[in-house]
Amino acid sequence: MNEIDKRISKANCVTWTGFIVNIFLMVFKLIAGITGKSSAMIADAFHSLSDFVTDIIVLLGFKVVKKPIDKSHDYGHGKVETLVTTIVGIVLVGVGIKILYSGSRAAVIAIQGYVFPPPGLIALYAAVVSILAKEMLYRYTIKVGNKINSQALIVNAWHHRLDAFTSIATLIGISGAIVLGEKWRVLDPIAAIVVSFFIMRTAIIILKGSINELIDASLPEETENEILGIVNSVSLVKNPHNMKTRRLGNNVAIDIHIEVDKSLNVTQAHDVATEVEKKLKESFGKNTFISVHIEPFE
């Protein structure tokens, strides 16, 4: 099994684990929300539904990413991972807006005098189970995501952590509605509103990064300075310039012009360019796409 297959295998294992846990949580929280008459828990259940959907998207995305370079994809299929991340962000925005609308509507009704029935203890238990399960999923997913350097997995990990936070908000709202009496049952829909803002904030952060990659934004300035430092460290390289960079999913592409003494022959100049490529791949991975243009130094 090559390096890419190993990476995809680890990513799939993590995502399938999350997929199974999310199915369980979605069903459990929906039943708990309906039975316990908790709008916050029903909102949390729909959040788990979005997790279920994004897990499917991530699994499909990695199935495409593992395909090798072909005639119609000279740079491979790495951008699919970025596209997957973007879709996850868009799904989260939709879920956040839906929960915000439902929670706001319920809160307005409560303020107008409608007395909601108290949430049942099963909704409280479901919130605790969700917090524990999601925190464990976060730790597992972020560990593997960092190890294989997968933005899609790292984003999904933070999605799990977000779920744990939103379930804490749900727990507080449900607890307040149960313990503090009927005047405070509005805390349940308010908790749903808080959940929605958590969701949308995370979605915006995710979309900002992934959209930048899709439109071929340059790598961060500190990364480009690191690249120039590596190129300058190669013997006989003079005046690296006209550098262009971008990210291709898990990989990066670097185009750069360098100057060498015009007294060098073609073979010697080529050896310099090869050494530049070697040094860059040592730092950014062997799948880095590098183009080095040689010019005579005057």
Domain span at residue 26 reads 3-214
Residue 297 bridge partners (DSSP): 261
Q: Beta-carbon neighbour count of residue 287 at 10 Å? A: 16
pLDDT digits (tens, 9 = 90+) for 162-215: 778 778 877 887 787 777 766 776 777 787 788 788 778 878 887 887 787 777
Residues 188 and 232 in one domain: no
Count of structural domains, the chain? 2
Q: Indicate if 138 and 56 belong to the same structural domain.
A: yes
CATH of the domain at 262: 3.30.70.1350
Residue 19 confidence (pLDDT) above 80: yes
- Taken as a whole, the chain contains a residue count of 298
176 and 198 both lie in a single domain: yes
The residue whose two tokens read 């690249």 is 227
Q: Are residues 105 and 200 in the same domain?
A: yes
High-pLDDT (> 70) share of the chain, %: 85
Give the rounded percent of residues in the chain with a pLDDT score beyond 90. Answer: 3
User: What pLDDT shows up at residue 70?
Assistant: 60
User: Which residue among 214, 231, 264 closes a domain?
Assistant: 214
pLDDT tops 60 at residue 1: no
Number of H helices, E strands in the chain: 8, 3
Q: How confident is the model at residue 83 (pLDDT cuts 50, 70, 90)?
A: confident
Residue 132 has pLDDT above 90, yes or no: yes
Predicted model pTM: 0.60
Per-residue pLDDT at 216: 67
Name the amino acid, one letter, at 222: E
| CA dist., res. 13 & res. 9, Å (int) | 6
| Mean pLDDT for the chain overall | 79
Interacting residues of 255 by C-beta distance below 8 A, sequence separation 6+: 242, 243, 244, 245, 290, 291, 293
CA atoms within 13 A on the CB side of 230: 20
Contacts of 285 (CB under 8 A, 6+ apart): 251, 252
Residue 150 pLDDT more than 80? Answer: no
What CATH number does the domain containing 140 carry? 1.20.1510.10
The least confident of 101-105, 215-219, 234-238, 273-277 is 215-219
Q: What is the pLDDT of residue 139?
A: 92
